[in-house]
Amino acid sequence: MTDWLYWILIFLFFAGSLFLLHIPLPHDISDRSKLAVAEFLLRMSNEYFGDLVENLFGSVVRNKLSRFILKIGFLMPPKEPMEIKRREVKIGGVPCITYEVANRKSDGLLVFIHGGGWCVGEAAYYDDCLYKMLLKLRMNGVSIDYRLAPEHPFPAGLDDCESVILSLYHNGCENLEFNRNKIIVQGDSAGGNLTATVCQRLHRKNEKFVKAQVLIYPVTHVFNFNSPSYQEYWKKYSGTALLNPKHMARWILLYLGLECNKKTIKKLLNSQHLDADFENSETYQELLHYDKLPEKFKNDHTVRARRDVDSELAAKFQKVATNPDCSPIFGDCHGLPPALVLTAGYDVLRDEGIQYAQKLENSGVKTKWIHFPRAYHGLFNMPNSEDRLEMMHEIVNFMSFHI
C-alpha cells in the first residue's frame, strides 16, 4: 500500500507540473497536436533553461545553447533519395550542399538560403525540404552554409551568399549542370532576408541574371516591435517557444554587432531604439507604419505609449539598420526579379513580409503574395505537415512558371 501511494504521489506531482507548465496553442494553428509536443520540449530547453544560461553567462553563450538544442533535432538526417546525389562542396570559397537530381525536366537551378535569425541553423537542416521540392521540380539545387553571427556579424553572411551566387553564374559548379540564366534564389526567415538583400545587391551591381526570388516569411526590416503581428504574439500565444519578440531582438543585435544583453533586448522591445524624428519621418510612415496593412491585420492593434529613447542606441541602430543590405525594405526595388512572398498567420514577421510585398508591387515588380492564416513561423521546416505541402505546392508552381 505504501509503494502504491508513493507512485501515485509521484504521478500527481509530474501531472501537476505539466498542467502548470502547459500553455495552450491557438485552436486553429497548423499541426496543433504535433506542434504542442515540439513547443513544450523547446520551451523547457531553449526558453526556461536558455533564460537561466543567459542570466549567468550572457546572450552569446545562450545563442550557442540554441544552436546545440537545434542540432539535437536533426541528429538523424533524412534518407537521401536514390534519385538525388547530395554533395558537400565549396562554391566561391563558401561551404555549400549541392543536390544533383536524376532524370531532370528543367535545367534551372534553385539556390536556397536557410533561416535561423542569422545566428543559428545549418544548410543540412533543410535537406528534407529540398529533397521534396527538387524532386517535384526535377531540377538541381544548391544550399548555402553561410557564416553565422555573432562570430561573423553583418554583412558576412550576405557576402557569402553573394559570393556563391556570383560564382555559380560566372564559373558554374563541378558535377552540377544548369542553365546560368535560370537561377532562382529562395530563403526562409533570415534566409528570406538574405535572399531579398542579395537580389537587390546584385541588381545594383548590374548583375541581373536572377530569374526569380522566393521569400518565405522573411525579415524585411528590424525596427517595428510594436506592429500588429508582434502584438498578436503577446495576446494569442505569449510565453510559447514559437518565434517570439525576445528572440528576434536578441538575434538582430547579435547580427548587427551591437551590444546584446537583457537590457538592450528590452529596449528594442519597447521601441527605445527609435527616435521620434525617424519614427515620424516620411520614410518610416510610408514603409513601416502598420496603417497600410490590410484591414483584417490591424483591427486589434493597440497604440502603446512611447518610452524614453536611448539616443546612443538609436543612433547606432539607425546607422546600420537602415542600410538596404540589412533591411531590404529601404532599398530600391525597381527592376528586381519576380517575387513570391509567403506569410504566416502566427508569426511576428507577418506584417513586414506583407509590407515588403507591397513595396515590390508598388515598384513594378511582378509579385505574388500568399498568406497562410493557420501557419506558424518555421512551418516550412516541419516534417510531415499537410500545410507545409500546400506551401511547397505554391512554391513549386511559382518556380515552374519562371524556369
pLDDT in tens, 305-328: 667 899 999 999 989 999 999 999
> Which residue in the list 189, 227, 229, 385 is annotated as catalytic?
189
What pLDDT, on a 0 to 100 scale, did the predictor assign at position 129?
Answer: 95
Question: How many domains are there within the chain?
Answer: 1
CATH number at residue 35: 3.40.50.1820
Residue 311 lies in a domain: yes
> Mean pLDDT over residues 35-48, rounded?
94
At residue 8 the predicted structure's pLDDT band, cuts being 50, 70 and 90, is low
Are 360 and 234 contacting, i.e. CB atoms less than 8 angstroms apart?
no
377 included as an active-site residue:
yes
What pLDDT, on a 0 to 100 scale, did the predictor assign at position 291?
Answer: 86
Q: Is 93 left (phi over 0), alpha (psi -120 to 50) or beta?
A: left
Residue 348 lies in a domain: yes
189 included as an active-site residue:
yes
Residues 6+ apart with CB under 8 A from 283: 330
pLDDT in tens, 255-290: 999 999 999 999 999 999 988 888 889 888 889 888
For residue 197, give the nearest of 327, 384, 7 by alpha carbon: 327
> Mean pLDDT over residues 13-19, rounded?
45
Write the single-letter amino acid at 99.
Y
> Which residue in the list 347, 351, 385, 387 is annotated as catalytic?
347
Residue 3 lies in a domain: no
Across 97-101, 107-111, 384-388, least confident range: 384-388
Across 295-299, 388-392, 393-397, least confident range: 295-299
What pLDDT, on a 0 to 100 scale, did the predictor assign at position 305?
Answer: 63
- Residue 16 pLDDT greater than 50, yes or no: no
> Which residue in the list 188, 377, 385, 387 is annotated as catalytic?
377
pTM: 0.94
At residue 14 the predicted structure's pLDDT band, cuts being 50, 70 and 90, is very low
pLDDT in tens, 342-377: 999 999 999 999 999 999 999 999 999 999 999 999
- Residue 20 pLDDT greater than 80, yes or no: no
- Residue 105 pLDDT greater than 60, yes or no: yes
Residue 246 lies in a domain: yes
Which residues span the domain enclosing 126? 26-403
Residue 21 lies in a domain: no
385 included as an active-site residue:
no
Residue 19 lies in a domain: no
Residue 144 lies in a domain: yes
pLDDT in tens, 194-209: 999 999 999 999 999 9
Residue 14 lies in a domain: no
142 grid coordinates = 544548391
* Mean pLDDT score across all residues of the chain: 92
